[in-house]
Structure 1
């Protein structure tokens, strides 16, 4: 069948966020985690990858596999979804992904946009603000893999690509779609490789989506533009609707690998009502020993109440673990441990997983062997709920580590118990 759009997300939680919004808008959007196999019929299809923090060559190889799969499946366009704060290093991987898709499509400039006004992340005059502060002065500066130290995204992204980047600012976007298209065409005539669009408010997003849908340009953007863009393209194909799935019955476990004060507050609220085990990544035990300890602890509790297992820590703890293992290996150690724990919990009958952290979510999904899911529509807790489509169905709630109120883990468990996330 002919499809309007294939979207490749740089992590799993972001893929589910977009799919959940589209499902809520009546646009069926299956989420795939591997490019092999048949792609379900839908006007818009989504891929969840782990391209945000892996080496550039590895990220581009994964991007290429999904691009090939989507083009074979009849997608007219392919877009790349990055996180709202464009988390990345000076090497990539957003710039390299944009260059790769532009080369595949044979056209420039690429339209780029960051931010998510609904959650307090905005971009004005090319500068990013997170919850009212420059991103470089926010908690994002403590991110263990992608600390955001430069709020000027045009300048920052310019270190990731050899192509020049132009800025289409808030004032230009307020002038309307015709003026914005004219400006982009002028930038193209000047040889610009990319055009970065402000996201000062939702009005900027709507104008950018109208422009993107009407122009034959590659789009590399965060959630709001991707959602608005995909909604326009998906509705134009008049897709049919599908009933939302229901959650799977069975015991529930929470796994948290994100770091920082937000997830620690969420774990504190959860542990006030349910058992919670915190693992120390500096424990001299080998990874297998930590996994075995966690599974032995969990085995005595599975089925009696929801439980949580965490490697989360604050800035001082992160610094100590990184000093011992290195920045990347510290994160990968936590992911391997929680992935192995997830597999062990599933083998012991757990059928519902609440996971905090984008990279942790990827590790858990990989460890559980999940290849595709159906996202539930946006609801009171936002997005992130899904049901796997494999031989052993599982319910999952995958959330970014730095989003959500203190009680979100408790509310996610309750929503699963009630059988619906809405």
Structure 2
């Protein structure tokens, strides 16, 4: 009788390496490992050999970078999403893509379950499982860190390292980097370890080696760099006149932004599961893209359309953060976002200097800015009669005057 098949989201780190072996033993199942290449760079080296050596029957290592950029990063940035005013959602937006592909593999392989190494305290467990529920409700989900027998066997990293050594699982666990990282095309995050103390200074000179995608702003070039970013319908299509795919745009912006120390964020955020956590993020390319997109919108978006879309930013960002990418409400907001972006076309010029992204010009063939109307000098178009403002103000002041009169009479 054929064994049950389980598809495991596999990174090759200590946790998922141990989980792979543990799942195989505990469930007497065939384990199919899956790794999504979404921009981890050299972190993927040697994964196939390691997964097979650890006990996987096969491993998928799928290059999803282009899909990630075009179908996840770009639509999210069109919305202007920013979680709690700081976080550009680098980890959050990657999880639905990983889970989507894991579901596809599970169906192709005839698997009955998927598994992940997310802990019971984090957001990722929710993101993976909500995506699976939306796309493949027939699949069961195994989350070892939520299972009592797993936690009893592995109360700490020492036990996991011992288990790995016993079973000949090659892992690298070191006290030299006492924090966890998550890297993809949009960002890299750092959390836990010494970062769990919010008073710990992650920007100190002694911690410069922690950062991967950017130099410290004080170490960035002393000469500013100008960058022209061309948009079509809310998406970047060219940098400095060179046409690029979304993937090429993200890779190029990351390199340029990182050189200038752009995109570092250190914040305490509110997790969906109820606790606060401290995270340090590097998002050089995303920070440039976010700033340029907003600048392009300022010239080309209708005021009330912009304000309506902006009223939904917090909701949209929270949906992404909490794992509801494939939920109907996110798709509904996305439809409004797409409509709002139809005229977000033109070129933004930015000045990059020591961690700062500064506007240096914006132009568009569909600009809504008319200098003849906005001028403080005589309006040659006669489109705006300053005298009309008196009636406009009187009408808007009416309810304030009525309210004030009522309160004054009540206090006599």
TM-score by length of 1: 0.28
Higher relative contact order (CA 8 A, sep 6+): 1
Structure with the greater alpha carbon radius of gyration: 2
TM-score by length of 2: 0.28
Normalized per residue, the structure richer in helix is: 2
